[in-house]
Amino acid sequence: MRKLIEINRIFLTLFFVLSSGTFISILYGPAINAFLAIFIGLAIYFTKVKLTLESICVFSLLFIVSIISFLLNISFESLSLLTFIVFFLKFLLLMFLCINDQHQVYLLLDGIFKWVFYFSCISISLYLIKIIFGNVYLPIYEIGEVKTYLFNTFYGVDFSTASIVRNSGIYYEPGVFGVFLCMALLWALRTSSYSIFKVSVILLNLLLTFSPVSIFLGGLIVFSAIKKKYARVILLIIIIIIFSFLVDFLFLKLNSQSFSLRANDLAYGWKLFLNQPIFGYSIFNEAIAIQYNTDTNGLARGSSNGILSMLYQTGAIFFSIYLYILAKGVSHIGNNNIWIGGLIVILLISQQPIHFSNVFILIAITGLSQLCLKKQ
């Protein structure tokens, strides 16, 4: 039985990673989420389930606020009732699995970030092969306008007088890869006996994403983990040197279409939130947002800013509760205080709208479990 539980956990954590912001989830999303639900169900079967009153109250409050918001905006045609139901079912299932078992939370998070590290090792290997030989010699999949290998995606960008290759790993954008690398880095540094090799691989992958926010946050995470003053000074000098090389790239980003779209997301996001600040326009509702937003091809698109997207979709009540338990979860992962956890959450989600991905739902449940239970 113990062996079966371990095998189930391995597959469960793998599908958690594959279902969150990857091209594989775009290609095979329904199948991956179906397998994820099966493995969560098996894990619950193997676990003694006992919900706490506090967890039920928080879940009920989030659900009631979302129902009110949903009913207020039911005229929008693109509201997905199925997506709405699936989100809260996953939230409830993970509460059953984790809320009364701190060891279960630890094992799931450890498994997820191990998979992120394993995919990082594959990613850095493929990146080196790409740079040295000019080809990875793997099948190419075409998803929309993006050509991707199954386990890695490369984006070419002009940088000063040369061209650079941004590494996206298994994720659909380098910024998304950066988000999960930062979380894996937090987990890797949570104890004093962390592996230098693991941290080095994660940091190298972070640098190769060329994502300014991710690189800055990675440096901040390492800086906060280092206790010796001279080591902090050395790290600060290294960060300054790295960002001096990235100045051209930062200016390139500021003058890019991507930055223009993000600025537009910021402007209309605040406008929408202020129009309906309490209950928002309903969770998963992008119908109102796409009225203001088009991509480089003139096609309607959702917001790229997860913080504002969550604000105008869910309103201030849901946003405050969900952000708080996310911050609590991240502070547990990094073994630091909730203010640092909150800052990390805001920086991560503001660059990528993945706040309702499966991994982030688990992080929110982790935060909720910290509120509801004494440490075992």
Per-residue pLDDT tens for 3-13? 888 888 888 89
Q: Which two tokens stand for residue 371?
A: 């509120």
Instruction: Report the pLDDT value the prediction gives residue 376, as an integer from 0 to 100.
Output: 47
Structure tokens at 199: 């941290």
Residue 205: band (very low, low, confident or very high) from pLDDT cuts 50, 70, 90: very high
Tell me how far apart the alpha carbons of residues 30 and 293 are, in angstroms, rounded to a whole number: 27
Two tokens, residue 15: 């599908």
Q: What is the largest CA-CA distance in the chain?
A: 61
Q: Are 98 and 112 in contact (CB under 8 A)?
A: no
Mention every residue, 6+ apart, whose C-beta is less than 8 A from residue 283. 66, 69, 70, 84, 87, 313, 314, 318, 356
CA distance 284 to 88: 12
Give the C-alpha separation, 76 to 167, whole Å: 38
**Cα 102 to Cα 329: distance, rounded to the nearest angstrom:** 12
Task: Identify the pLDDT of residue 136.
Answer: 72
What's the rounded mean pLDDT across residues 268-287?
Answer: 80
**Three-state SS for 14?**
helix
- Tell me which of 246 and 206 has the higher pLDDT: 206
Which range has the worst mean pLDDT, 52-61, 132-141, 217-226? 132-141
Average pLDDT, integer, range 21-26 = 82
Does the pLDDT value for residue 74 go beyond 50? Answer: yes
Ramachandran bin of 21, using left for φ above 0, alpha for ψ from -120 to 50, beta for the remaining angles: left
pLDDT over threshold 60, residue 162: no
Pair of tokens at residue 108: 């799931």
| Bigger pLDDT: 209 vs 148 | 209
Are 196 and 203 in contact, with CB atoms under 8 Å apart? no
Distance between alpha carbon 81 and the CA centroid of its chain, in Å?
Answer: 23
Mean pLDDT confidence for 96-119: 85
Q: What is the pLDDT of residue 294?
A: 57
Above 90 in pLDDT, residue 229? no
Residue 87: CB atoms within 10 Å: 18
Averaged pLDDT for residues 254-282: 75
Whole-model pTM?
A: 0.82
Confidence category of residue 77, pLDDT binned at 50, 70, 90: very low
- Under 8 Å between Cβ of 175 and 211: yes
Contact 283, 267 (CB under 8 A): no
Q: Are strands 146-149 and 162-167 parallel, antiparallel or unpaired?
A: unpaired
Sign of the torsion angle spanned by Cα atoms 197, 199, 202, 204: negative
pLDDT at 114 (0 to 100): 93
Residue given tokens 């911050």 in the structure block? 327
Q: Is residue 291 over pLDDT 50?
A: yes
Q: Is 292 helix (H, G, I), strand (E, B) or coil?
A: coil
Mean pLDDT value across the chain: 78
User: What is residue 373's predicted lDDT score, i.e. its pLDDT?
Assistant: 64
Burial bucket for residue 63 (CB in 10 Å: 0-12, 13-18, 19+): middle
pLDDT at 260 over 70: no
Which range, 30-44, 66-80, 311-325, 361-375, has the best average confidence (pLDDT)?
A: 311-325
